[in-house]
Structure 1
Amino acid sequence: MTLPNFSTKDRILQAAETLFARQGFAATSLRQVTSLADVNIAAVNYHFGGKDNLINEVFRRRMDVMSAERLAALRQAVETAPGQLEPILAAFIEPALAMAQDRHGGGAFIRVIARTYAENNEKLRKFLSDQYGHVLREFAHALADCLPGLSKETLYWRLDFLSGALTYAMADFGLIKRPLNVPEATHRRHAAHMLIRFAAAGFRAEEA
C-alpha cells in the first residue's frame, strides 16, 4: 500500500499518523514510515530531524487548526454571550468533534491521541503541554468567570473530566452509534448538544 501523490512532507506525516494509530509510537520505526510513505530515511531527517519531532508534527498539523478554531469560538462566545456557560462549552467541544469526523484522517488521529494516554511518552506530553496548555487555561479562565463560586482545583478537575468525555465521544467508542440514515454532521451536532448539556450540569454542580 502506498499513499496518494501528496508532497513528500505530507506523505510522511500521513504515513506516520496511520502507523502511530495502528501500532503506537514505540512500536513504529522510521523504516516503516518511510516504506509506507515511499520515501527514503533522508527525507524524514530533512523535514523533521528525527522521530521525536515527527511525532510532534503529527500532532501539530491537526491541533494547531483545532486550537485556533477553539480560541476563535471562545472569543465570540465571551463577546456575544458573556457569563453564559453553554457557549463556552460549545467552543471547546464542537471544533474537536468536527476534527474527529474529518474524512482525511480524523479517525486515525483520534486513535493517535488515545496512544498518548496508553504510552508513557514524557517528551510528547511536555510538547503538548507547552504548545497547547494555554488553550485549556483560556477556557478555564472563561469558565471561572461563569462559575465564581467554584474553586480553581474543582474547576480543573471538571475540565479534565470534560476532556476525557470529549476524547471518548471523538473516538465514537460509546453505546450510541450513528444510525445509518443519519448524516455524520447531524449525528455530530446531536453528540455535541448532548455533551454540552451533560458538561454544563457537571460544572454547575455544588462543590462537595
Structure 2
Amino acid sequence: MPQKVSAATRERLLAAAERLLLTERYEDVSVRRVCAAAGANAAAVHYHFGSKEALVVALLEDRLGALWADRLAAVTSEPRPIPEIVDAILEPFTELAADPVGRLHLRLLAQCVLGRQVGLDLWQQQWFRLDSWSGLLPHVTERDSRRRWMLAFDLIIMRFGTDAADGRPITGHAVASLRDFVVAGLTAKETHE
C-alpha cells in the first residue's frame, strides 16, 4: 500500500507542477506552491524528486519523452543520414506547436533549457541527454559533435518554444528553413579541434 500512495503522491505533484508551470513563469512557481496545489506535505517534492529542478525535468520527460522515443529509436538504431534524424526530431516539435497544451509544454521546455534553469545532468531519459547524440556525427570529434547537437537543440527549442508559446504560427516554410540550417550545421566539415 505505501508504494501505491507514494506513486499517487508523485503523480499529484507532477500534475500540480504542470498546472502551475504551464500558466506561470518558472521562477514564480515555488516548491511550497506545488506541494500545496497537490495537497501534499511541504517536503514531498524533495522526497520524491530531490529539487524543483528535478521535478520539472521529470515532468517534461514524462509528458514529452514518449513523443520522441519510438521515432528516435528507429533513426538511431543503425547509421542513418542526418536529415532523416533531424526530421525525426522536428516532427514532434511541429505536432506540439499545433496543440495549445503542446505549445505550453514547449514554452516550459524553452524556459528550462535555454534559461539553463535545470542542469544537463538531471535529464534521465536517453533522448534528453547529449551523450545519446554525440555518436551520430561520425565525421567530427565527440566534443565537436556534442557542441553541434547542443547548438542544434538550442536553436530548435528557441524557435518552437518562443514562437509557439507567443501564439505565432510556425509555418511549413519556417520549419523547412530551420531543418536545412540544422542539417547544414550538423554535417559541416570540422574545421578545428
Q: TM-score range by the shorter chain?
A: 0.5 to 0.7
Shift of 1:85: 2.4
Within a 5 Å distance, the mapping from 1:1-208 to structure 2 comes to 12-21=13-22, 22-25=24-27, 27-33=28-34, 37=37, 39-42=38-41, 45=44, 49=48, 52=51, 54-75=55-76, 78=78, 83-103=80-100, 105-116=101-112, 117-118=114-115, 120-122=117-119, 125-128=120-123, 130-132=124-126, 136-144=130-138, 148=139, 150-173=140-163, 177-178=168-169, 187=171, 189-208=172-191
Cα deviation for residue 155 of structure 1 reads 2.4
Kept in 2: contact 1:17–1:112 (CA 8 A):
no
Deviation at 1:134, TM superposition (A): 7.2
Q: Look up the SS of the partner of 2:29 in the other structure.
A: coil
Question: Aligned AA for 1:24?
Answer: Y
CA contact (8 A) 2:67 2:92 kept: yes
Give the SS at the match of 2:61.
Answer: helix
CA contact (8 A) 1:30 1:51 kept: no
CA distance in structure 2 between the aligned counterparts of 1:50 and 1:134, rounded to whole angstroms = 17
CA–CA separation in structure 1 for the residues paired with 2:49 and 2:180: 43
2: CA distance between counterparts of 1:162 and 1:152?
A: 15
1:197, CA displacement in angstroms? 1.3
Cα RMSD (Å): 3.8
Between the aligned partners of 1:31 and 1:191, the Cα distance in structure 2 is: 40
Confirm or deny: 8 A CA contact 1:74 1:88 kept in the other structure.
yes
CA-CA distance at 1:16 after TM superposition = 1.2
Does the residue aligned with 2:144 lie in a helix, a strand or coil? helix
SS at 2:143 equivalent: helix
Who wins on radius of gyration, i.e. which is larger? Answer: 1
Displacement of 1:12 in angstroms is 4.4
Q: 2:176 and 2:131 mapped to 1: Cα distance?
A: 23
| Structure 2 unaligned regions, length at least 5 | 1-7
Post-superposition Cα deviations, 1:146-199, rounded to whole Å, max 9, x if no partner, equal: xx3x3333322221111111001212439xx43xxxxx7xx3x54432222112
**Structure 1's 72 and 99: CA in aligned 2 closer, same or farther, altered over 3 A?**
farther
CA contact (8 A) 1:100 1:109 kept: no
AA paired with 1:202?
G
